[in-house]
Chains A and B, each alone.
Chain A
Amino acid sequence: MPSRPPRTPSDGRPRPGRRPRRTPRALAATAALTVLLAGCAGSGGRAVQPAADAKPLTGGTIVYGHQQEPACVFGGWIEQAYLSTQVLDDLTSLDTDGRAVPWLAQSWQTSADGLTWTFDLKRGVEFTDGTPLTAAAVAYNVDYWMNGGNSTAQVWLGGYYESATALDDHTLQLHLSRPYPRLDVTLAQGYFGIQSQHALETRSAQENCEAPIGSGAFTVDHWDRGQEIVLLKNPDYTSWPANSQHAGPAYVDRIDWRFVSNPTTRVASLRAGETDAIYDVPAVDYAAVGADGFQELKHVTKGRPQQLSFNTVAGPFTDESVRKAFAYSLDRRKLVETIGQGVIPYEGNGAVSRSTPGYSQAAADTYDHDLPKAIALLEAAGWDAVDEEGYRTKDGKRLTVRLPYNSGTIIDADGAAILQGVQQEARAAGFEVDLIPVPPSGFFGGAYSKPAERDIAAGYWTSVTAGILYVNWRQNLEATPNYSNAAFYNDPVLEDLILQANSTADVDAQNALYGRAQEYIADHALSIGLFDRLSTLAVSPRLKGVWQENAQGGPVFHDAHFVD
């Protein structure tokens, strides 16, 4: 690994002069504690900047510190999408303006009725098992997703997708039952990575989970569970996306994709030179890491922000004015900006985040902090008595609402602190918020997934368009269940707006419809926003060319190279 920084005394150590030198005896236990406590205000590790004339290098190993370890490289979760985009190529890629640009598909067109999409695939692309990329292989992939190979791809295309056919080796047709004009950008998410058909057919589920075969810039060498995934450069890479910064295979030889779940440790490892790049810089460290000379990248993910959805079929929030009272009782902006250290953006819109095309500012501005109004609404709704602990009651029953949240994965530490703030602020209006942290096991086991079990659901869902509204608000009907409808809100009016929007080709008209859907959600207080979900990276100055893909803000290492 020629390009790893040598550990010189000037690298990753506290600078001399920052705090007084101690005598050697200070190493005694008690004195060490004093040093420790006294010296903690800032934590050293200013990045050593490369010389101005530093030359780009080829080769080397990027050690990248990531937060969460998924079960598989490919799957329906953002943590899997981050990994699979290193190994698999999509049909399209998203540019900074939110448009789809060629990746495995070099061009595409839609039929006049919007029901048939024809993709012309790049020539001469091979999967890393030596089999060629063909239209038939891509068609096989689409059916594989829809048959359960990728649950998230499934909910996006479900209700629209009919079939995929290969016209010839390089021409793929996707047939839809209803027009879906944003299909090209939707396909730019990591859930739509194309794998070798041969590998899917002949290898075990385990092999395809751990080391899927794609045509991407890197291949999975091995997975050291609990520690790291080692990715090796694909030397024969030919199918970089159109928005790539260079043509040709990756510059670096290898990526050590380490799992470092503790945020403090991640930051410390970057400062100490043990990692070259890290994911998810905690808000509290963000300013200092940037000031110390590390490059920071920030991406506000599109789609559903971190929000609170109210249970509209059972409990106190079936009453719209109680939902509104809850919204008015919170100073969400102050809460988010304090705990988020000004790094995490406040988001008032519960339907989609500010970076999503068609975002409605009006929906975001619907509820300000207005305690008297919250109290007036509650009193009008019959919650007019207050018990000895200050909580409102109606017919002797306390206004208690249950807010389970998935601690650790969906809601991170900053998010948990913000929810605790919500609990405190809602209390002023007389809500007793029962904050229930649920470990991932319980959550994924279906705990708190039913209407009788919760009053508020917290969570996000990233996407590239406001089409996420279809996933989150489509009606949950017997024949067509939609368990992703967290508010249990079945409303043909809202669904109709979303369906119309989904199938509207003209971008402005579509955005107007999506905007109306967001305002509908806000006006009925079905969901209120808290903060926008961020994907952040911090990169050593010795590593250049790292960028965030525009679908979910994951790191792209294809163009990355060390300088010296």
Chain B
Amino acid sequence: MTLTSSTDPALDAGLTQAPPSRSAGRTARRVLARVAGAVVVLWGAATVAFLAQVALPGDRATIIFNTRAGQPIERTAEELAAVNAQYGLQHPVLVQYLDYLRGLLHGDLGRSYQQYRPVTQILGEQVGSTIVLTLTAIALAWVVMVVWVTLTAGRGPRTSGLGAALDTVTAALPHYWLGILLLLLFAQRLGWFPVISDGGPVGLVLPALTLAVPLAGFMGQATRTEFERALEQPFVVSARMRGQGDLGVRLRHVLRHSALPAVTLSGWALGATISGVVVVESVFTRRGIGSVLVTAVNSQDLPIVTGVVVLVAALYVVANLVVDLVHHLLDPRLKAS
């Protein structure tokens, strides 16, 4: 929802891209640097998450105990000692930190305070649903954006203006509001979709749409500018002179040329859409790491919060590596060199 172009990290990134290296050795070094960078990001994410746990106000053992009992009261020392021992909370912070990092290397994100289960297992059950939702939303956003931009961009002031205005409006729609509108109208009143979004494809429609519409508007803003610029390029004129139809020119030449910023955005969007997912999963009562996260923040089940942070950072890293690749394939300047 808060997809203003101003926070857009990468809009014109393609233009400032460093020229690719030619030798295989350099490529290998570059890949290695990437991976090292990714590891640093993950380590940083883990550290931030761990520090957050330690900095939380209140006694962790008390929180664990009271949430389990459902009574907000003080606890005796003996009651707390047992909980402390169970989670290693009696150790110095540095030891806890090293234990945490060591666990992380083995894919162990710790144990939930409330569910007694490994966090990896809990998130493993949920992440699939979230990824399906996110990818569907991004794909949907692409379809909506491409259709809308191709149909409206550079078609005289009125049509283009309408197109651009709609981009702006949809990009500004908060997920919770759009979600509630869609839920109220299409699930509650018309009954076309289930109120509770379960695993099925029908239940996926409204949540994905809620995420896709603002994202499409956001990507549309970026693409439209490029699209209209590309329409005036010599190669478009020459394609038209060769007798290609307008739609053909738009789809075959202009779109490919102007889609770069949006491609870059998609990698970023995968991470950013997680923010939306938290809200959307809440609106549509859908399973996923967003709803797990909100529950965990509420009950201060920190190992889960930590786990989500690390997981999302990992997703972000992977997504951007993939985007890099796609970018490489698409960008004519990179190809030429």
Convert B166-188 into 0s and 1s, putting 1 for each residue whose CB lies closer than 8 angstroms to a CB of A.
00000000000000010111011
The residue from B181, B287, B297 contacting A33, defined by CB atoms under 8 A apart: B181
Residue contact B285 to A446, C-beta cutoff 8 Å: no
Q: Do the beta carbons of A75 and B125 come within 8 Å of each other?
A: no
B35 vs chain A, min Cβ distance (A)? 33
Do A209 and B72 touch across chains, with their CB atoms under 8 A apart?
no
Contact A269–B196 (Cβ < 8 Å) = yes
A266 to chain B, nearest CB (A): 9
The residues of A that contact B19 with a CB separation of less than 8 Å are none
Among the interface residues B114, B187, B195, which one has the most CB atoms of the partner chain A within 10 A? Answer: B195
> Within 8 Å of chain B (Cβ to Cβ): is A449?
yes
Min C-beta distance of B203 to chain A, whole Å:
10
User: Which among B76, B82, B126, B285 is the interface contact of A262 at CB below 8 angstroms?
Assistant: B285
Looking at chain A's contact residues, the main secondary structure is loop
- Closest chain-B Cβ to A556's Cβ sits at a distance in Å of 21
Whether A43 and B285, one on each chain, are in contact in the complex, defined by CB atoms closer than 8 angstroms, is no
B residues in contact with A36, CB < 8 Å: 181, 184-185, 189
A78 at the binding interface (Cβ < 8 Å)? yes
Q: Is the CB of A79 within 8 A of B70?
A: yes
A445 & B116 in contact (Cβ 8 Å cutoff): no
Residue of B nearest to A406 (CB): B72
Contacts of B65 in A (CB 8 A): 151
| Contact assessment for B285 and A265 in the assembled complex, using a CB-CB cutoff below 8 Å | yes
**Complex partner residue of A446 from B66, B116, B282, CB under 8 angstroms:** B66
Proximity bits, B66-81, A CB within 8 Å = 1, else 0 = 1111111111100100
Asked if B134 CB lies within 8 Å of chain A CBs, one says: no
- Residue A227 interfacial (CB < 8 Å): yes
Say yes or no: A445 contacts B70, CB within 8 Å: no
B63 CB contacts on chain A under 8 angstroms = 441, 444-446
B298 within 8 A of A: yes
Smallest CB–CB gap between A411 and chain B, Å? 12
Identity of the chain A residue whose Cβ is nearest the Cβ of B129 in the assembled complex? A227
Q: Are A265 and B195 in contact (CB under 8 A)?
A: yes
Q: Which residues from chain A contact B282 at a C-beta distance below 8 Å?
A: 262
Contact status B71-A447, CB under 8 Å: no
Within 8 Å by CB of B70, from A76, A204, A205, lies A76
Q: B194 to chain A: which residues have CB within 8 Å?
A: 269, 272, 274
Bound-complex Cα distance A268 to B283 (A): 13
8 Å CB interface, A250-279 against B: 258, 260-262, 265, 268-269, 272, 274-275
Q: Mark A60-98, 1 if CB is under 8 A from B, else 0.
A: 000001000111100111111000000000000000000
Which A residues are in CB contact (< 8 Å) with B196?
A: 65, 258, 260, 265, 269, 274-275
The answer to whether B125 touches A446 (Cβ under 8 A) is no
0/1 per residue, A475-504, Cβ < 8 Å to B?
Answer: 000000101100000000000000000000
Q: Which residues of A contact B243 (CB under 8 A)?
A: none
Chain B residue contacts of A442, Cβ below 8 A: 57-58
The reply to whether B195 and A274 contact each other, CB–CB distance below 8 Å, is yes
A315: CB under 8 A from chain B? no
* Minimum CB distance partner of A459 in chain B: B72
The answer to whether A44 touches B74 (Cβ under 8 A) is no
In the bound assembly, the distance between CA atoms of A323 and B189 in angstroms comes to: 48
Contact of B68 (CB < 8 Å), options: A35, A75, A225: A75
CA–CA, A520 and B187, complex, Å:
53
Q: How far is the CB of A35 from chain B (nearest CB, A)?
A: 7
With A32-B185, A148-B82, A481-B76 in contact, do A261 and B70 touch (Cβ < 8 Å)? no
- B125–A224 touching, CB < 8 Å: yes
A210 to B114, CA, bound (A): 11
With most chain B CB atoms within 10 A of its CB, the pick from A32, A204, A406, A444 is: A444
| Residue contact A225 to B125, C-beta cutoff 8 Å | yes
Decide: A445 near B59, CB < 8 A? Known: A14-B191, A265-B285: yes
Of residues 89 through 132 on chain B, the ones whose CB sits less than 8 Å from some CB of chain A are 114-117, 122, 125-126
Can you name 20 A-B pairs with beta carbons within 8 Å? A35-B185, A43-B188, A65-B196, A71-B68, A71-B299, A72-B68, A75-B68, A76-B68, A77-B70, A151-B69, A205-B116, A225-B122, A226-B295, A262-B282, A408-B298, A409-B70, A440-B299, A445-B58, A447-B58, A484-B71
Q: Which residues from chain B sit less than 8 Å from chain A, CB to CB?
A: 57-59, 62-63, 65-76, 79, 82, 114-117, 122, 125-126, 181, 183-185, 187-191, 194-196, 282, 285, 287-288, 291-292, 295, 297-300
What residues make up the interface of A, taking CB atoms closer than 8 Å to B? Answer: 12-14, 32-33, 35-36, 39-40, 43-45, 65, 69-72, 75-80, 148, 151-152, 204-206, 209-210, 224-227, 258, 260-262, 265, 268-269, 272, 274-275, 406, 408-410, 439-450, 481, 483-484
